[in-house]
């Protein structure tokens, strides 16, 4: 079997592109979870292996949840995983940014005050 000579350079190119995308997302403080991205059968779970689906569920919901769906066929597993991952804030590793800044205490306080104000205004 002939191994492609492009393998190492292709892998390096992918790593470099991911690193650039990560730096850009960090500079823009891009947070895909906050932007509303959810893993679905259509956009992720139906496109990856069963092992990756189980890994995602394990990371987001724990080993017990992953074990509950491990016996399912791929499509059924992907659908069950979509339900389990809903609202979990889980992202595939390639979409995670290394340094999305945490909200400061001041920002958290301001957000709580805004939420309280909105709740009072809605009454």
Q: What is the pLDDT of residues 34-76, one digit of tens each?
A: 878 899 999 999 999 999 999 999 999 999 999 999 999 999 9
Angle between helices 74-85 and 50-61 (to 10 degrees): 20
Q: Say if residues 37 and 95 touch (Cβ distance below 8 Å).
A: yes
User: Is residue 2 domain-resident?
Assistant: no
Report the number of secondary-structure helices (H) and strands (E) in the chain.
5, 0
User: Is residue 1 domain-resident?
Assistant: no
Length of the chain: 123
User: Is residue 90 domain-resident?
Assistant: yes
**pLDDT per residue over 73-89, tens digit each?**
999 999 999 999 999 99
User: Is residue 64 domain-resident?
Assistant: yes
pTM greater than 0.75: no
Q: How many domains, in total, are found in the chain?
A: 1
User: Is residue 106 domain-resident?
Assistant: yes
Which residue range forms the structural domain that includes residue 32? 7-122
Q: Say if residues 39 and 92 touch (Cβ distance below 8 Å).
A: yes
């Amino acid at each position: 079997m002939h191994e492609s000579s492009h393998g190492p350079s292709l892998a390096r190119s992918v790593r470099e592109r991911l690193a650039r995308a990560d730096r850009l997302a960090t500079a823009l403080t891009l947070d895909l979870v906050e932007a509303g991205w959810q893993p679905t059968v259509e956009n992720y779970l139906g496109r990856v292996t069963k092992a990756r689906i189980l890994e995602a569920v394990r990371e987001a919901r724990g080993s017990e949840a992953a074990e509950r769906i491990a016996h399912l066929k791929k499509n059924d597993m992907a659908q069950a995983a979509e339900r389990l991952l809903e609202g979990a804030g889980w992202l595939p590793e390639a979409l995670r940014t290394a340094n999305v800044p945490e909200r400061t205490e001041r920002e958290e306080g301001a957000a709580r005050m805004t939420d309280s104000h909105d709740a009072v205004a809605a009454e």
